[in-house]
Amino acid sequence: MPRLSAATLNRLPAWVERPATRPAPRVVHLGIGAFHRAHQAPVFEELGWGIVGASFRAPAVRDAMAPQDWLYSLVVGDQVQVIGAVRDVIVVPENPQALVATLAAPETAIVTLTITEKGYLPGAPAAGFLAQGLALRRARGLAPFTAISCDNLAGNGSRLRDAVLAASDPAARDWIAAHGAFPQTMVDRIVPATDAADIEALAARIGLVDLAMVKAEPFTQWVIEDRFAGERPDFAAAGVTLTADVGPWEEAKLRLLNGAHSAIAYLGGLAGVEHVHQFVAAPAGRRFVEALWDETAPTLSPPPELDLAGYRAALLDRFANAALAHRTRQIAMDGSQKLPQRLLAPIAERLARGEAIEALALAVAGWIAWQAGRTDAGERFIVDDPLAERTRGFAGSPAARVDAALALRQVFPPALAANPAFRDALVRQLTKLSEQGAAAAVESFSAQE
């Protein structure tokens, strides 16, 4: 069967949406994985702004897209849209100067990033390349680009700005601080990993093989702080929310959607539940998610436009979408980087008010138990986390494992780690997981609630 490409677009069935144009690049995207291709790229497609992507590790995305003239399919339920906004992909280890040159090009106005939480750690490459590109723009008398982090991090724009300034030479640092723009953002769309069965199913429907396809849920949301360094597309025309304060949107999403996702990933994963929809299909799983949100919701300051009850109901519907087949192990990756903003922040706020944290503590205890690399049924797996070398050393009694976890300053803030009520709750819930297993712990917990 032929591949999707510019030459085979005319073979697509009439019901498949295809690109109206192939826009010239105005955007550079760092970390061109599935999430970017399902979330930001369709926005730039609608706005007519082309994208040059960059991969910092493997050439897999470039190798899948290049034979297809950078075209790929976005599958949302029964709908298929071929996206044409991507115009090139740079594999940075092969040609780092190509990325610097593209960042410094006069046409580049926006740089977006999906580099995951660990991409903001000291020594990670993205900030250094942004610093080089901005320094070149300054030397050439060009305005800076706007750098938009699209990672699920609280204060993602501030973290990106700090990383870029730390990587900048003194001559450029003041200019970047004064003229650069690193707006805060909130992004939301569930984008499960694509597998061979997805590729085969799409080929059967459209008559072409697409090795770069992505699939996503119907829901998509992008909120950007209205702070730009120069030219920008009309984001609002493509449904993007521009606001003076992203914080309340970001907080609600991180603590409700992402917090529940992490809880489901560890507790469901330990119980052998493969997909998110299977966890919430069980009444006990659904009740536990609601109990988790009952603890988390009072810690939020939602924007006036956000109806929390409606948002929670919509999240449960999204979690229940079996067509996504969202794998718990995919969500479980890099947990040490995700826990602080998703689960630990609401825990700290509730403890400060003397409120219960049992559901939140069970979720964190699930993360501690996950570090053993073994499900409750004894199946072994590899823990994919930057701190895995340290966390696999958690051993002994539940109390000993909790104490080893609380010693990780990269994860647990000192004040929270020293809080006896927090430690006691973790020991209580980890003991329950050790003695009963995750499925029984979730069921007994939700029954008590």
Query: Do 172 and 319 fall within a single domain?
Result: no
Residue 402: inside a domain, yes or no? yes
Residue 1: inside a domain, yes or no? no
Gap between the Cα atoms of 50 and 73, Å rounded:
16
Gap between the Cα atoms of 55 and 25, Å rounded:
17
Query: Do 237 and 346 fall within a single domain?
Result: no
Gap between the Cα atoms of 336 and 321, Å rounded:
27
Residue 174: inside a domain, yes or no? yes
Residue 142: inside a domain, yes or no? yes
Strand duo 185-188 + 86-91: pairing: unpaired
pLDDT in tens, 133-151: 999 999 999 999 999 999 9
The domain boundary residue, chosen from 243, 263, 298: 243
For the chain, how many structural domains are there in total?
Answer: 2
Query: Do 259 and 299 fall within a single domain?
Result: yes
Query: Do 263 and 215 fall within a single domain?
Result: no
Query: Do 217 and 307 fall within a single domain?
Result: no
The domain boundary residue, chosen from 243, 266, 282: 243
| pTM (predicted TM-score) | 0.83
Gap between the Cα atoms of 226 and 239, Å rounded:
14
Query: Do 106 and 218 fall within a single domain?
Result: yes
pLDDT in tens, the chain (449 residues): 999 999 999 999 999 999 999 999 999 999 999 999 999 999 999 999 999 999 999 999 999 999 999 999 999 999 999 999 999 999 999 999 999 999 999 999 999 999 998 899 888 999 999 999 999 999 999 999 999 999 988 899 999 999 999 999 998 999 999 999 999 999 999 998 999 999 999 999 999 999 999 999 999 999 999 999 999 999 999 999 999 999 999 999 999 999 999 999 999 999 999 999 999 999 999 999 999 999 999 999 999 888 999 999 999 999 999 988 899 999 999 999 999 999 999 999 999 999 999 999 999 999 999 999 999 999 999 999 999 999 998 999 999 999 999 999 999 999 999 999 999 999 999 999 999 999 999 998 756 64
Instruction: Tell me the three state secondary structure of residue 98.
Output: helix
Query: Do 293 and 197 fall within a single domain?
Result: no
**DSSP for residue 52:** E
Residue 152: inside a domain, yes or no? yes
Which residues constitute the domain of residue 425?
247-448
Which of 76, 319, 331, 320 has its CA nearest to residue 216? 76
Query: Do 223 and 260 fall within a single domain?
Result: no
CB atoms within 10 A of CB 378: 6
The domain boundary residue, chosen from 210, 243, 276: 243
Query: Do 30 and 179 fall within a single domain?
Result: yes
Query: Tell me, what CATH number does 287's domain have?
Result: 1.10.1040.10
Residue 27: inside a domain, yes or no? yes
Query: Do 20 and 70 fall within a single domain?
Result: yes
